[in-house]
Amino acid sequence: MPIRFAVEAGEHTESLAAEFNIPGIPVNLPAVLNDVDSLAAGLQAKGLQACQIGAFGFNALSPDRSAREEMKQKIMTAMPLAAKLGCKHFAFAAGNANPNMFGETDPFNFTDEALDQAAEELKPLANVAEEHDVYLSIEPYIKTVVHSPEAFLKLKERVDSDRLRITLDVTSFYDFRDMVDPRNTILNACSTLKGHYDLVHLKELAIVPGFHIHSELVAHDAGNTPWDLVLEQCCDQLGSDSWVVIEHIPNLEDGKRSIPQILSLA
């Protein structure tokens, strides 16, 4: 099955999608809740489809219980609206006991108790997802409770629902050594998570100058990730509802240079 690509490049998302005839772009939860009909009409007029509904404000391990409940209700409210967009994927991270989800971490994230708490928060979402034929696509990240492929499988076992999926984002598992040679981590992630993902995210990380360990998001052709290997490993797992999202493109020039390189590998 041909790969369906989507793109995310901030303010340049739609122009790059048009230039390279990429059909998908991500949308966010507030836009869906605000006016899903206008959102759907706007996408259709531009020949675009929603590849995912981003709900990254949800944090299953947030110490603020009221914030957790508020976000869960918003996601549940949006689930029946997703059909108007032809979109099946709600994307968000599984949880971080530190409220700075992607910037910091907490030792609690790496415990069985964290997996238990995250599972209890996700179970009601998975039940509603079942009713509306949508999926919860967990964004992994080394600072959060889903810090490894194996951690996701433990979480899914606790939730006990195939509505819980993972976004295959191999660079989210990288440590320092992987930014030198990531092949083993890529192969492990793709094999361990086989059958558990529909969304694939492609972003690049690289070591940058700094004391001890320092890395940053970079253009897709500025790091060491072998994108041909990533696509080779995941392509046979992609179905009719799947998307491969080229994301975190730093600027327009980088997008114009690196997007064709990735598309040529498909």
Sketch the domain layout of the chain as residue ranges.
5-263
What single-letter amino acid sits at 152? F
Q: Count other C-beta atoms under 10 Å from residue 21's C-beta.
A: 9
CA angle, 144 then 179 then 201, to 5°: 55
pLDDT in tens, 178-236: 999 999 999 999 999 999 999 999 999 999 999 998 999 999 999 999 999 999 999 88
In the predicted structure, residue 64 carries a pLDDT above the cut 80: yes
In the predicted structure, residue 62 carries a pLDDT above the cut 80: yes
pLDDT score recorded for residue 19: 98
pLDDT score recorded for residue 213: 87
In the predicted structure, residue 40 carries a pLDDT above the cut 80: yes
Average pLDDT over residues 85-110: 96
pLDDT score recorded for residue 14: 98
CB distance 261 to 21 below 8 Å: no
| β-pairing verdict for 89-93 and 135-139 | parallel
- What CATH fold (topology level) applies to the domain 5-263? TIM Barrel (3.20.20)
pLDDT score recorded for residue 2: 84
What single-letter amino acid sits at 139? E
pLDDT in tens, 140-149: 999 999 999 9
Average predicted confidence (pLDDT) for the chain: 97
In the predicted structure, residue 1 carries a pLDDT above the cut 80: no
pLDDT score recorded for residue 67: 94
CB distance 227 to 190 below 8 Å: no
The answer for residues whose C-beta is within 8 angstroms of residue 38's C-beta and 6 or more apart is none
